[in-house]
């Protein structure tokens, strides 16, 4: 059996070709390190709150600002991807989020940290759109779901790396220094830019089509007929999915420490299971989105994610064994739902507007979805972190409703 046999589990990778594989490596690394630089804040949030003497609501606002500004970054990056190309935009976003993550480690006040974190959001918001589109345009239609899902799985890899570094740093340094060191390690992604610049290029065929049109990178076009309805419901879908996810990602470390009384090492153990589930979910969801279709896969994992968030947060005190058992499937379902995004959004828009459409809708979802994890921060005062996190389950209901206004795109050729 040849290595390009379509019956093999990784046939999708072999069909990318040499340049497609390089694009995959660049986008995988970019998104993985994007996750790393995002997660250092939630991991260090307990120490940061103590250092600056801020409330849980103010702590939640740090992540909210990141996600809100990421909508601006994503929209700008989407336009740039359509106007100057996917690869150039990818490099700009990676450098941006790396530089301002490091700057966060030098913050001398809560306000300064918020400004640096907001600026980090510009790069954070743009990277996924550029990288996902870059790879989607190299894919065969039958493999697009799983291929782009593997890019999505790099989020779990970056998240896992951040937890490892967090565990080491906070085990050996006092927490008022450790959170700064954690941010400084965010310089790592800048190294990736050298690889992208030297080895990665846009998909030639679709790049020629993009460059030949006079209507590329237009906000007006994605809101006008016939794309306006698509943009509205795609943004609503992204809002629901990310509202649920960021509630979980932003508050689980604090929940485990404050309501479960776990140590740094104990929290790391739970997060390892959560992240392992996430990685498995990203990959499994990718295969399912090609098998079942985009909409059915979204619906399945939205329902499961909502149910598991409620179960995870309401397990009685002292039943940490049960909490541990639920952690893997929780990470699995809340990440598997993301697997279809890269392919689905790419298939909804034509080449000359793909960056703009995908960048706007996905990152609009980040910005509005951020309100859910902010609400958790303020509700936690009266309900506790665990009780308030149930609010995230509501977001998944919004995602299911949004699917009613979107077409199924499984197997379509990019236009």
In the three-class reduction of DSSP (H, G, I as helix; E, B as strand; rest coil), residue 105 is classed as: coil
Higher-pLDDT residue of 414 and 224 is 224
pLDDT at 1: 40
Segment among 22-26, 302-306, 382-386 with least mean pLDDT: 382-386
Looking at the chain, the whole-number percentage of residues with pLDDT higher than 90 is 26
pLDDT at 267: 59
pLDDT at 3: 45
Q: Are 131 and 24 in contact (CB under 8 A)?
A: no
Looking at the chain, the whole-number percentage of residues with pLDDT higher than 70 is 87
d(CA 278, CA 59): 25
Average pLDDT over residues 50-71: 83
Confidence of residue 156 (pLDDT cuts 50, 70, 90): confident
pLDDT at 300: 95
Domains (range + CATH), the chain: 19-195+223-403 (1.20.1250.20)
pLDDT at 2: 43
Average pLDDT over residues 285-289: 91
Query: For the chain, what is the radius of gyration of the CA atoms?
Result: 20
Segment among 9-23, 365-379, 392-406 with least mean pLDDT: 365-379
Higher-pLDDT residue of 50 and 309 is 50
Shortest CA distance to 252 belongs to which of 179, 326, 307? 326
pLDDT at 331: 86
Query: Which pTM was predicted?
Result: 0.77
pLDDT at 404: 94
The average confidence (pLDDT) of the chain is 84
- Using alpha carbons, list the distances in angstroms from residue 31 to 24, 139, 148, 311: 11, 18, 11, 30
How remote is the C-alpha of 210 from its chain's centroid? Answer: 26
Confidence of residue 188 (pLDDT cuts 50, 70, 90): confident
Task: Say if residue 6's pLDDT is above 70.
Answer: no
Confidence of residue 206 (pLDDT cuts 50, 70, 90): low
Shortest CA distance to 61 belongs to which of 118, 109, 104, 108? 118
Task: Say if residue 105's pLDDT is above 90.
Answer: yes
Q: Which of 23-37, 223-237, 346-360 has the highest mean pLDDT?
A: 223-237
d(CA 322, CA 320): 5
pLDDT digits (tens, 9 = 90+) for 315-366: 777 666 777 788 889 889 988 998 888 889 989 998 888 989 988 998 888 8
d(CA 173, CA 180): 10
């Amino acid at each position: 059996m040849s290595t390009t046999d379509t019956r093999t589990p990784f046939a999708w990778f072999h069909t990318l070709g040499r340049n497609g594989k390089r694009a995959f490596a660049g986008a995988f690394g970019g998104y993985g390190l994007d996750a790393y630089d995002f997660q250092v804040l939630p991991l260090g949030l307990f120490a940061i709150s103590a250092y600056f003497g801020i409330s849980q609501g103010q702590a939640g606002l740090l992540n909210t600002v990141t996600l809100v500004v990421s909508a601006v970054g994503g929209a700008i990056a989407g336009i740039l991807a359509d106007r100057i190309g996917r690869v150039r935009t990818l490099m700009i976003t990676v450098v941006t989020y790396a530089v301002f993550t490091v700057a966060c480690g030098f913050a001398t006040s809560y306000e300064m940290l918020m400004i640096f974190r907001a600026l980090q959001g510009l790069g954070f918001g743009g990277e996924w759109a550029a990288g996902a589109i870059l790879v989607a345009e190299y894919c065969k239609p039958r493999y697009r779901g799983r291929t782009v899902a593997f890019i999505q799985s790099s989020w779990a890899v970056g998240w896992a790396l951040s937890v490892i570094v967090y565990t080491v740093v906070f085990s050996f340094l006092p927490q008022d220094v450790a959170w700064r060191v954690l941010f400084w390690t965010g310089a790592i992604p800048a190294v990736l830019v050298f690889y992208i610049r030297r080895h990665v290029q846009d998909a030639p065929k679709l790049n020629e089509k993009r460059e030949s049109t006079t209507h590329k990178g237009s906000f007006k076009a994605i809101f006008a007929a016939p794309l306006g309805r698509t943009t509205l419901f795609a943004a609503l879908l992204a809002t629901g999915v990310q509202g649920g996810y960021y509630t979980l990602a932003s508050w689980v470390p604090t929940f485990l420490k404050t309501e479960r009384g776990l140590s740094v090492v104990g929290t790391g153990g739970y997060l390892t299971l959560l992240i392992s589930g996430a990685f498995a979910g990203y990959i499994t969801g990718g295969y399912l989105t090609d098998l079942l279709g985009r909409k059915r896969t979204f619906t399945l994992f939205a329902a499961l994610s909502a149910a598991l968030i409620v179960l995870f947060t309401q397990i009685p005190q002292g039943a940490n064994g049960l909490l541990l058992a639920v952690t893997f499937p929780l990470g699995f379902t809340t990440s598997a739902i993301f697997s279809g995004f890269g392919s689905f959004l790419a298939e909804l828009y034509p080449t000359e507007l793909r960056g703009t459409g995908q960048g706007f809708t996905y990152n609009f979802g980040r910005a509005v979805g951020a309100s859910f994890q902010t609400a958790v921060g303020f509700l936690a005062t009266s309900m506790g972190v665990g009780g308030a996190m149930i609010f995230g389950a509501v977001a998944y209901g919004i995602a299911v409703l949004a699917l009613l206004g979107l077409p199924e795109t499984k197997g379509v050729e990019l236009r």
